[in-house]
Structure 1
């Protein structure tokens, strides 16, 4: 009888989540319910699924109470609104009806067409229009009018009675009670961006829009029994039971076959290209690889994953072939030899002893996926290829659902209450929490916050997940069109998994852009072709490993951060396997649990490692008895406790909080202990091994994922080692990495490049390099408009270098303000004139005239020249200009700004000779990291460069640094004690102050 129910997916309108709606309906004995969220079908399949779940969960309790168990009949549809005005709502008769509704809404979303006043003709949908006193149209087949009990008096002599078979009960459901109606009012005010008291009544739901018993509802219409009969007849005509799937695991909705000929053809094709790739990776007669390949292919075929592998292979083949794009395949997919031979990944699973079961096994219930990274500016090309290859309605981006965040909620509530900005800022200030707790207004905000904090706020787009569907995706969702321009489903990855979709993750990262452009620049500047995928030939390069050991891989993906550089030096890391381990133990969870320190200790003293038993020694000897990877959990469960590999992975996943069945988890834990006893282990040993497993599993990291990162790190390191200038230019042109831009410019200078300021006759949009000469690009100039960033090099390339200022002005049609920017930075130095003379000249040309016409002059009229006195200029004045316009001085160190000539008692490269001593140093601030201690106080880690350009690190403890110590970029005087941790020296700061600098002479004058 309830044809128009709103959940919280009716964003900033509905107030109840789907489980709550179903639970309340069951408590009231309701037998049928129609979910019709506003302009979306986000919750439709979840609603159908949850109705079945709650019936199963409640059945046993109800039988014990003597009640007859029942299941609510779920029906779904969509309510259509335009500009907050209800037009009509559609109710699906069946699965085809859901598709019709979803595609109708999708077309209007994707093509940005307003919804029509009248619904189109559907074949499998009932359309219900809201009753109004003036309703007078003839209704077509499957069109009805919904009337509220409060509107029944209007039926007297109303023309609609001539079509009385078209009248239905209309009792919208939006809130649970009076409290949630108030919440609804807050949501409407937030949506409309107005005060709570200013929300028009017609844009809110009525206060009686809550669930009541079916008997109470029908009693309101007892004078009009035909309306009750019409409503029941419509409900009885709807059947969405096809969405119910037997068993706990949904049937896969992904594309079933890559080949047109079907699944069997996929098996043949996958086997053929996999074995062809095996020859490329391992040679023709590698029996170990062949055996592993056969094992994986059997499981892939058993789990119907051939199409998934082939579609991913097709994406990678397109990227590598036609586009010449570089990619990185990472994640647990790198555990697969099939993926390695298909060149989806560059990680050798045999070399690293990676378990395929970590990616896919016979008992796995959740779908695995590949993570494929492309350069940040190439991913869209790959996405376009996928969307063009597969039919409309069969491919879409995965969505996300953001919820109201804590501080954001407080701000939103404060705004609709009309509170002043200063008061709202105070309520969101964590340092004033105790003061705020006594404020009655703040208490009111918190009360609303408690109801709103987990509610959906807005739909968005997933970082890179794409769904490719066998049947139209519109059977399960309508589609949005976010700013990226690709159709996007209206639910997130968790709902996708529950429905039966495995996503294809097409991601991006700047590290790949560094590698790609460096290879291109090396070809242009050095004339050499680099096969960056030839990983085996350079992972054992002693020169690369020497740089890795020194912990100075600035610009290299994943290993350049201060924390990672420190770890590399502490480990004295000089090989691939150690870097793989380092990539895992650097993670916050592993580091904070103490396992990182334990690993470093054992790494440097392997002879002193005491293993718990022979199995632990055999399986964990590569990591010195410390579990470093998720695969280590699987190995210990398998070889120590005797679980099969599939069971071991299920247990690993369960301990990471990703397994929903508590009972099944407890059964596996019990099996671990029983099976371990059967292996002959003592109770004490089993208990200790389990303690280590359970304390580690939640923090663990896939070895394959770490290995993928390590491969890319080595590729970056190879380029930086042998082609440092081209590599650093590539880093700059792909917007850097962990550090600010000036750090990479500084590195480029250290590598021997002569770095020049932007010049209109030499610079491009981005940094370019020719020999050892590198010219900064126009993109880095703050305030320079995009049309001149692209236009100046374009004009120069078309018509040759600029000869003088006047020609530059005429050819570029530059404005006065933009020309001044370039002059101040020295970008017009080709004229041979100093900056101040050029500023006089530019005003002479552009300062007192109307805007120049956008046309080329027919005749070159010479401009009158004036004789000026000699105008003085200073290095520090230029440095300040560079600081203003670039964000850093190029040829003037930050140390040169200092009033003092003092540069510290010692330099960074001498710290190891002063362990335990208190020293004074002067450092140029690079970056910082704030952490919270166990006592909830703050401490800081700083990174600095000394006057020689070498890095050193500082620690600021709460007892010596009670408040935030840093004051932005500049040089600091540091007094502290030199400490050493695994041969890595750093400074424990005792006193810390920013040093005074010379003022800008222009500002002084």
Structure 2
């Protein structure tokens, strides 16, 4: 009887989930209802999937509104009607069109016009599929309206948006947040009606007792509607089922591609390789995944034709077919990758292929996919209200001052001392927390389906300009849609750019580099030494302090060790406590046999009986707990995100424990193994995935080992990495580069290397406008280098303010003229001129100025660089107010082992974390006076006393300790050192002169400084 029900996917309007709606229907004895969210279909598929559990017959539609003003309601008569409604909504969302008062003539959908809308718009002609909705509140006016003559068109339209007063209050807060107004200023027309509630069926029938024909019309309408989607485990995939248009041709094509790829990957294939190929192909065909593989092959084939670098990873990297098709570069035979993680008879969804491209190339790849294949869309996701954001929004809605809002967001309050308004913020925060806020885009997911996407969902059009579903990946998989993951990654941009830089800086060396010769990289001693010594600055996935520490502790000096480290570093292994245990077993032969359960050691001998990879969950569940492979995969998937709450996961979890007890395992052992599974499975990598990461790491490390300067320039030009740009610049200097500030004749927008000289890019100059930069770079490209400041001013239109930035950073130093003199010249030449954007046909007549000789001190330059670049090019230790008391550094730590050391460090990065008891502590990385990196830790008692106060140099006193050979300092005392006062402003003796100079800048006494001839 309810044709107009809303969930919280009626964004910033509705207040509860689709499951809450079903529960509400069950409580009120409602056996069928229509979900019609406002301009949204996000909840529809999950509503249909879960409705049978509540003994509810689900129907779906859309409440079409302009803002919150109702136009009409569309109700799908069948799946084709749902598609019609989705296409109609998508068209309006994509083109930002308002809804007309009159609905189009849908072929498979019904339209219900609200009572008020009919009267307001004077709609008195209705088609066969059009009706007039009457709410309980409308019944008072119905007898006196002209609509009584349309008896056969009247149906019940009692909107359902709230369950109780609290929901209504939450709704009003959402509306105020949406309109960005104080709650007291929220216009009444922006709110729903408080009586938009669900009444028990008997009450609703009683309310319409005098109008039984309305109830009959409504029932008749509902009986004409039916919506069905297959959510069973045996469902057919909804992805594009054939790549070529024929399943038979697909199978022939994939076999041919495997044969063509075999000589490249395995010049002399063994029988084991042939058997693996055959086994995979048979299963891929049986499971209907052929087109999925071929589409991924098509995408990377296009990328290779364009010269794009890419990395294929995910569970699909365990596949030899993917290796032969060059979707991945991971050899599953070499790594003995677990076949059943990739595919098995029980698996419903295809294997994951996460394909990384350079951040510059991904857009073109996405464009290609949308042009190449039918029925393509991006996958949606929801950004939800989070605690701090909710508090901030509610604070604004209730009119709290900023300082009070800030205190609430930081949790700096005692509830008993809050005033009534602040208490309301705290009271309503949990009600909004977790509600959908707005639609966004999945980080990488693209759907390519057999049906048009609108068969499943309306689409919206985010700023990226590609249609995007209104549901997320979990719902997509429920209905049989599996995403293709196309990701952007700066690491690949670094690799690609390094090769381009080599072509102009070392062309002969560039010709010798084959970045795909991974086998040679794995055996390269210089590369493996970098890994063992953790000299990995700028290299993909291995440059962070945590990874650097792990590499040293594990003494990694080969590819397989790096594969393991790539997964061990993930949060789950560390959380379970097994990272430390893995290191202990790795460094102490025999410990694994002593500590590991024999079954666990037998299952995972390569990782000492410790669960490291995602497939270890499947192995343990299958071999240790006796689950079948399908149940084991449910367990693996259930360890992450929304899947954990699924009923099927709960059943498998219970079976895991019961099977273990039946095998005679102790409760202590069962708990220990389950703790490992539960704590890390959602975070761990598949081994093939880790191996793919390790391949890219080796490519990065090879370039760093043999072409460190070119590589570091590429790192900087791709936005850096884990650290700030100044530390990559520092690393390049340590590798032998000479670093130059920007120069108008040598620099580009990005960094540029000439032999061993690196000229910083103009992009670093704070406040330099892109158009100013582009203008003078274009002029230089067309007509050659600039000869002088005067030549620059004649050739380039640029404001005095923009030109002064270039002079202050010393970009005109090639002239040999002090920059203070150049600033005077620029002022006197541009000070009274009205500049046009048109270049001069003839150069200006030379102008001569008599300017007193001025000097620039090196310290002034350093502070100028800090202001304009964000860092100085001199050593920061040269800027200290007090000279360091010692020269201690990283090189002294070994001889101070287990003793206290006093040393100075320039802060690189800080990790603020908490212990398992919630106490704050810090891990930090510094650079010493010799330019070497060292690490410190501040445990809670010290962290409570000392805080990091931003960039700068700290004096540290603490104990040098070693953990598995990794040296660090446990800080006892810490103090931030002061820089000298900025010499540009600190010399007060020059103040009168500076004030006089300000007058001169205004044109006074100009003949005392210089005159124009």
For normalisation by structure 2, the TM-score amounts to 0.92
Question: Which of 261, 273, 291 is 1:307 aligned to?
Answer: 291
Q: Specify whether residues 461 and 656 from structure 1 end up closer, same or farther in structure 2 by C-alpha distance, changes over 3 A only.
A: closer
Greater shift, 449-458 or 570-579, is seen at: 449-458
Q: Specify whether residues 461 and 643 from structure 1 end up closer, same or farther in structure 2 by C-alpha distance, changes over 3 A only.
A: closer
Given that 1:606 and 1:624 are in contact with CA atoms closer than 8 Å, whether structure 2 keeps it comes out as no
Question: Which of 677, 698, 722 is 2:706 aligned to?
Answer: 722
Alpha-carbon offset, residue 630 of structure 1: 2.8
Residue in structure 1 matched with residue 106 of structure 2 by the alignment: 122
Alpha-carbon offset, residue 225 of structure 1: 3.5
Alpha-carbon offset, residue 905 of structure 1: 4.7
Residue in structure 2 matched with residue 909 of structure 1 by the alignment: 891
Alpha-carbon offset, residue 979 of structure 1: 1.0
Residue in structure 2 matched with residue 41 of structure 1 by the alignment: 41
- The answer on 1:264 being equivalent to 2:245 is no
The 5-angstrom pairing of residues 877-916 of structure 1 reads 877-890=860-873, 892-902=874-884, 904-916=886-898
Cα displacement string for residues 623-643 of structure 1 (whole angstroms, at most 9, x for unaligned residues): 233332233344455556666
Q: Specify whether residues 865 and 583 from structure 1 end up closer, same or farther in structure 2 by C-alpha distance, changes over 3 A only.
A: same
Residue in structure 2 matched with residue 65 of structure 1 by the alignment: none
Residue in structure 2 matched with residue 5 of structure 1 by the alignment: 5
The alignment partner of 1:959 has SS state of helix
Cα displacement string for residues 758-816 of structure 1 (whole angstroms, at most 9, x for unaligned residues): 11111111011122222111111111101123232222111211222233123221111
Residue in structure 2 matched with residue 30 of structure 1 by the alignment: 30
Q: Specify whether residues 806 and 332 from structure 1 end up closer, same or farther in structure 2 by C-alpha distance, changes over 3 A only.
A: same
Distance in structure 2 (CA, Å) of the matches to 1:849 and 1:208: 69
Residue in structure 2 matched with residue 457 of structure 1 by the alignment: 437
Distance in structure 2 (CA, Å) of the matches to 1:131 and 1:225: 17
Given that 1:401 and 1:457 are in contact with CA atoms closer than 8 Å, whether structure 2 keeps it comes out as yes
Cα displacement string for residues 609-652 of structure 1 (whole angstroms, at most 9, x for unaligned residues): 42556655554332233332233344455556666655554554
Residue in structure 1 matched with residue 134 of structure 2 by the alignment: 147
Residue in structure 2 matched with residue 936 of structure 1 by the alignment: 918
- The answer on 1:296 being equivalent to 2:280 is yes
Residue in structure 1 matched with residue 992 of structure 2 by the alignment: none
Greater shift, 343-352 or 142-151, is seen at: 142-151
Cα displacement string for residues 800-847 of structure 1 (whole angstroms, at most 9, x for unaligned residues): 112222331232211111001000001122333210111011111212
Residue in structure 1 matched with residue 232 of structure 2 by the alignment: 247
Q: Specify whether residues 409 and 766 from structure 1 end up closer, same or farther in structure 2 by C-alpha distance, changes over 3 A only.
A: same
Residue in structure 2 matched with residue 427 of structure 1 by the alignment: 408
Given that 1:651 and 1:669 are in contact with CA atoms closer than 8 Å, whether structure 2 keeps it comes out as no
Q: Specify whether residues 990 and 691 from structure 1 end up closer, same or farther in structure 2 by C-alpha distance, changes over 3 A only.
A: closer
Residue in structure 2 matched with residue 483 of structure 1 by the alignment: 463
- The answer on 1:201 being equivalent to 2:201 is no
Q: Specify whether residues 449 and 656 from structure 1 end up closer, same or farther in structure 2 by C-alpha distance, changes over 3 A only.
A: closer
Question: Which of 666, 680, 696 is 1:699 aligned to?
Answer: 680
Q: Specify whether residues 15 and 96 from structure 1 end up closer, same or farther in structure 2 by C-alpha distance, changes over 3 A only.
A: same
Given that 1:250 and 1:498 are in contact with CA atoms closer than 8 Å, whether structure 2 keeps it comes out as no
Distance in structure 2 (CA, Å) of the matches to 1:664 and 1:575: 38
The alignment partner of 2:522 has SS state of coil
Alpha-carbon offset, residue 997 of structure 1: 1.8
Given that 1:652 and 1:697 are in contact with CA atoms closer than 8 Å, whether structure 2 keeps it comes out as no
Given that 2:391 and 2:409 are in contact with CA atoms closer than 8 Å, whether structure 1 keeps it comes out as yes
Alpha-carbon offset, residue 306 of structure 1: 0.7
Greater shift, 709-718 or 357-366, is seen at: 357-366
Residue in structure 2 matched with residue 710 of structure 1 by the alignment: 694
Given that 2:383 and 2:437 are in contact with CA atoms closer than 8 Å, whether structure 1 keeps it comes out as yes
Residue in structure 1 matched with residue 521 of structure 2 by the alignment: 538
Q: Specify whether residues 20 and 808 from structure 1 end up closer, same or farther in structure 2 by C-alpha distance, changes over 3 A only.
A: same
The alignment partner of 1:128 has SS state of strand
Q: Specify whether residues 512 and 288 from structure 1 end up closer, same or farther in structure 2 by C-alpha distance, changes over 3 A only.
A: same
Greater shift, 819-828 or 413-422, is seen at: 413-422
Distance in structure 1 (CA, Å) of the matches to 2:556 and 2:763: 37
- The answer on 1:747 being equivalent to 2:731 is yes
> Aligned Cα RMSD in Å?
2.2
Given that 1:633 and 1:693 are in contact with CA atoms closer than 8 Å, whether structure 2 keeps it comes out as no
Residue in structure 2 matched with residue 955 of structure 1 by the alignment: 937
Question: Which of 810, 824, 829 is 2:813 aligned to?
Answer: 829
Distance in structure 2 (CA, Å) of the matches to 1:964 and 1:144: 70
Residue in structure 2 matched with residue 138 of structure 1 by the alignment: 125
Residue in structure 1 matched with residue 553 of structure 2 by the alignment: 570
Question: Which of 981, 986, 1003 is 1:999 aligned to?
Answer: 981
Alpha-carbon offset, residue 279 of structure 1: 2.5
The alignment partner of 2:427 has SS state of helix
Given that 1:401 and 1:456 are in contact with CA atoms closer than 8 Å, whether structure 2 keeps it comes out as yes
Given that 1:88 and 1:119 are in contact with CA atoms closer than 8 Å, whether structure 2 keeps it comes out as yes
Question: Which of 654, 669, 677 is 1:666 aligned to?
Answer: 654
Alpha-carbon offset, residue 379 of structure 1: 0.8
Alpha-carbon offset, residue 727 of structure 1: 0.4
Distance in structure 1 (CA, Å) of the matches to 2:937 and 2:352: 40
- Paired residue total: 973
Q: Specify whether residues 697 and 503 from structure 1 end up closer, same or farther in structure 2 by C-alpha distance, changes over 3 A only.
A: same
Cα displacement string for residues 977-1001 of structure 1 (whole angstroms, at most 9, x for unaligned residues): 1111112211111111111222221
The 5-angstrom pairing of residues 574-653 of structure 1 reads 574-607=557-590, 609-611=592-594, 612=596, 616-636=600-620, 648-653=632-637
Residue in structure 2 matched with residue 874 of structure 1 by the alignment: 857
The alignment partner of 2:881 has SS state of coil
